[in-house]
């Protein structure tokens, strides 16, 4: 590559990044292995795209298709795919490095990547893997269900499948390494012949393929010269094992993540993974340090810094950070509910082009009263109070997956007609269920099929099939809340991760609710006044709950406000509660109105 051409690329990148030194450090770093600490709103995606373009232009990546980009969530993977497809050709335009369709970077989530490998080579393990797209994905966590659907399965084998699933969530590495071989054997001998495959097996069978056929592993190790891993903090143990196979001495590595956005520990995200990977893969750490989301909003900018500082020095404020935070305390929950509704209406009236989310840690009688108040006043909103472990939410996604697989068995293309047929079938299945959750899922399913042909028109038919399957397999319909027409969304924080609204209200900022009893409050020794003392015994729990709080706050583009009640609704009688310890973080100056 001529130096003049590289200078053109560098000039374009410098202009794009407006002198952000940390972003430019990432983009032009000569290091083969870097870990980018990238908080929400710090320009991670722009930086990542420019880094890829520069590596292609400088021949560090011989061809765009020699870069493998992986991420935890389906939604994030396809957003990266869209950004890469749109922006890299612009940066490389006119320098002899134009990207052809066949040369495009492969971007997927972990399961999507493994599915691609199994479709190509899986017949070496079992012939049914040739038709992987038509295999039904099953839940292997419930022993009794497994034995009900697979009559030849022994109790011992059903229990092993279930225990393996639980061990993934509980991050039991030793137990998994002892059981993975037998787990794969059971899947191959008992489940694949019956047209079924568990979710975890898509990765474990790929690992088995790599172990049993070193030539296949060697091909992928040498073909992908560069690995880019986004949302690295959410990686689970099976995905981490997969990375260990793919990364060899000569592999270029780019990990992007933020330890303070790790909120999926309850489904297996590995704690302290960024630190572990830094040591394991000898990564140079570069931390992005400029918040673009809040650069013109000093209060939100300072609040972001305060929460992040508390992850380093809990309840200390060495930099004397200050943020004026709107926080209202009410006598009891019915008053708070009414004021939340009024606050919502006033906010949207004052900024008529905006939208707003009311985010809570979990469902319960307190948020139920807020919902009833919205309904009583005939104010429309979207019901997003589902979690990754909600049985009805999971079941809806699984039904969607099953019916989609049935529909594509005799087809190779996804059309709008197929989408309509799928939606019609799902509505028939749940026609007798009028619960708020199912009605909300119907809305999300409609939006999902609509956006598939708008935002992902650039995908091949194979990629679209994978996107649909990945979405349903990962229970990912919640991620399409960002495309709803509704101005008001009431959601759990976990369902809202990765999404943004102009305004966010966090009610119920009280003891036992945020943080909740199971997360931190139940074991706190300072429950009388909620002035928590963080020590070695509770530090991990504190950081887990602070991460959820941080994700909630950073869903707001313009402003976040908080409220609480002195009397909290419980299963039996209202009880007097303290305000949340998170409202006492040093530097937060609480104000009733702003």
Residues 386-416 pLDDT 10s: 877 778 888 899 899 989 988 888 777 888 8
pLDDT tops 90 at residue 140: no
Query: What are the tokens at 17?
Result: 């990044």
So what's the pLDDT on residue 95? 66
- With bands split at pLDDT 50, 70 and 90, how would you rate the model's confidence at 371? very high
Residue 70 bridge partners (DSSP)? 108, 229
Give the C-alpha separation, 328 to 505, whole Å.
11
- With bands split at pLDDT 50, 70 and 90, how would you rate the model's confidence at 3? low
pLDDT tops 60 at residue 103: no
Least confident of 252-256, 367-371, 508-512: 508-512
pLDDT tops 60 at residue 1: no
- With bands split at pLDDT 50, 70 and 90, how would you rate the model's confidence at 134? confident
Contact between 351 and 344 under an 8 Å Cβ cutoff? The reply is no
Percent of the chain exceeding pLDDT 70 equals: 96
So what's the pLDDT on residue 185? 96
Tens digits of per-residue pLDDT, 222-241? Answer: 999 999 998 888 889 999 99
Residue 44 marked as a ligand binder = yes
Q: What's the rounded mean pLDDT across residues 201-227?
A: 95
- With bands split at pLDDT 50, 70 and 90, how would you rate the model's confidence at 83? confident
Q: What's the rounded mean pLDDT across residues 143-165?
A: 89
Give the C-alpha separation, 433 to 225, whole Å.
50
Answer whether the bond into residue 176 is a cis peptide, omega within 30°: no
Q: What's the rounded mean pLDDT across residues 194-214?
A: 94
Q: How far is CA 496 from the centre of its chain?
A: 9
Percent of the chain exceeding pLDDT 90 equals: 44
- With bands split at pLDDT 50, 70 and 90, how would you rate the model's confidence at 575? confident
Q: What's the rounded mean pLDDT across residues 90-103?
A: 61
Tens digits of per-residue pLDDT, 175-197? Answer: 999 999 999 999 999 999 999 99
So what's the pLDDT on residue 6? 80
More confident residue, 24 or 464: 24
So what's the pLDDT on residue 594? 53
Give the C-alpha separation, 385 to 433, whole Å.
17
Question: Going by C-beta distance under 8 Å and a sequence separation of 6 or more, which residues neighbour residue 195?
Answer: 128, 134, 135, 136
- With bands split at pLDDT 50, 70 and 90, how would you rate the model's confidence at 488? very high
Q: What's the rounded mean pLDDT across residues 201-230?
A: 95
Q: Which own/partner contact pairs does 569-576 have at CB distance under 8 Å and 24+ positions apart?
A: 569/333, 569/364, 569/365, 569/366, 569/369, 570/365, 571/365, 574/332, 574/333
pLDDT tops 50 at residue 469: yes
pLDDT tops 50 at residue 287: yes
Least confident of 72-76, 169-173, 429-433: 72-76
Q: What's the rounded mean pLDDT across residues 510-516?
A: 84
Residue 40 marked as a ligand binder = yes
So what's the pLDDT on residue 258? 87
Q: What one-character-per-residue DSSP string does 395-410 give?
A: HHHHHHHHHHHHHHTT
Q: What's the rounded mean pLDDT across residues 104-117?
A: 85
Write down the pTM of the prediction. 0.84
Residue 328 marked as a ligand binder = no
For 424, half-sphere exposure in the C-beta direction (CA atoms, 13 angstrom radius) is 7
- With bands split at pLDDT 50, 70 and 90, how would you rate the model's confidence at 97? low
pLDDT tops 90 at residue 549: yes
Residue 552 marked as a ligand binder = no
pLDDT tops 80 at residue 81: no
Residue 556 marked as a ligand binder = no
Give the C-alpha separation, 543 to 271, whole Å.
10
Element housing 502 (H / E):
strand 501-506
More confident residue, 540 or 347: 347
So what's the pLDDT on residue 101? 42
- With bands split at pLDDT 50, 70 and 90, how would you rate the model's confidence at 221? very high
- Report CA-CA distances (Å) from 231 to 52, 97, 359, 487, 569: 17, 28, 22, 28, 36
Q: What's the rounded mean pLDDT across residues 105-110?
A: 81
Residue 587 marked as a ligand binder = no
Strands (E), 189-321: 196-198, 226-230, 252-257, 284-287
Least confident of 71-85, 227-241, 530-544: 71-85
> What mean pLDDT value characterizes the chain?
87
Give the C-alpha separation, 91 to 87, whole Å.
7
């Amino acid at each position: 590559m001529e130096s003049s051409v590289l200078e053109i690329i560098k000039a374009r990148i410098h202009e794009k990044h407006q002198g952000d030194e940390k972003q430019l450090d990432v983009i032009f770093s000569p290091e083969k292995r870097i870990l980018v600490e990238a908080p929400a709103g710090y320009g991670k995606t722009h930086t990542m795209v420019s880094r890829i373009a520069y590596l292609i232009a400088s021949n560090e990546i011989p061809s765009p298709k020699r870069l493998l980009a992986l991420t935890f969530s389906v939604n994030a993977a396809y957003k990266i795919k869209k950004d890469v497809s749109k922006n890299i050709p612009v940066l490389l335009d006119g320098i002899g490095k134009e990207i052809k369709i066949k040369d495009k970077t492969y971007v997927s989530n972990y399961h999507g990547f493994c599915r691609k490998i199994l479709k190509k080579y899986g017949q070496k393990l079992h012939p049914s893997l040739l038709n992987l797209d038509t295999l039904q994905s099953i839940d292997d966590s419930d022993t009794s269900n497994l034995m009900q659907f697979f009559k030849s399965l022994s109790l011992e084998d059903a229990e092993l499948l279930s225990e393996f699933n639980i061990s993934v969530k509980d991050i039991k590495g030793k137990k998994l390494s002892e059981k993975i071989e037998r787990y794969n054997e059971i899947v191959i001998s008992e489940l694949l012949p019956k047209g079924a495959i568990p979710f975890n097996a898509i990765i474990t069978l790929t690992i088995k393929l790599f172990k049993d056929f070193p030539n296949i592993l060697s091909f992928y190790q040498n073909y992908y010269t560069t690995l880019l891993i986004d949302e690295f903090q959410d990686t689970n143990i099976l995905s981490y094992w997969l990375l260990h196979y793919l990364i060899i001495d000569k592999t270029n590595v780019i990990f992007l993540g933020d330890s303070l956005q790790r909120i999926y520990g309850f489904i297996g995200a590995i704690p302290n993974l960024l630190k572990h990977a830094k040591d394991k893969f000898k990564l140079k750490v570069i931390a992005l340090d400029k918040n673009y989301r809040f650069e013109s909003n000093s209060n939100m900018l300072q609040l972001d810094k305060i929460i992040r500082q508390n992850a380093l020095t809990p309840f200390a404020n060495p930099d004397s950070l200050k943020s004026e935070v709107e926080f209202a305390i009410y006598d009891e929950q019915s008053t708070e509910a009414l004021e939340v509704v009024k606050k919502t209406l006033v906010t949207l009236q004052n900024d008529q082009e905006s939208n707003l989310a009311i985010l809570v840690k979990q469902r319960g009688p307190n948020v139920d009263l807020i919902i009833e108040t919205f309904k009583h006043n005939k104010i429309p909103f979207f019901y997003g109070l589902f979690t990754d472990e909600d049985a009805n939410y999971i079941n809806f996604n699984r039904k969607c997956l099953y019916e989609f697989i049935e529909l594509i068995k005799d087809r190779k293309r996804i059309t709008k007609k197929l989408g309509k047929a799928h939606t019609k079938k799902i509505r028939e299945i749940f026609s007798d269920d009028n619960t708020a959750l199912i009605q909300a899922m119907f809305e999300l399913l409609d939006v999902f099929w609509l956006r598939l042909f708008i935002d992902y028109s650039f995908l091949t038919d194979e990629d679209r099939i994978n996107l649909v399957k990945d979405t349903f397999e990962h229970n990912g319909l919640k991620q399409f809340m960002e495309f709803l027409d509704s101005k008001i969304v009431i959601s759990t924080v976990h369902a809202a991760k990765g999404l943004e609204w102009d305004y966010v209200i966090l009610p119920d900022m009280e003891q036992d609710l945020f943080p909740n009893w199971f997360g931190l409050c139940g074991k706190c020794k300072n429950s009388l006044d909620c002035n928590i003392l963080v020590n070695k015994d509770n530090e991990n729990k504190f950081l887990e709950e602070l991460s959820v709080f941080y994700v909630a706050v950073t869903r707001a583009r313009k402003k976040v406000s908080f409220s609480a009640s002195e009397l909290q609704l419980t299963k039996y009688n209202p009880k007097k509660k303290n305000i949340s310890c998170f409202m006492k973080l040093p530097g937060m100056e609480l104000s009733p109105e702003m």
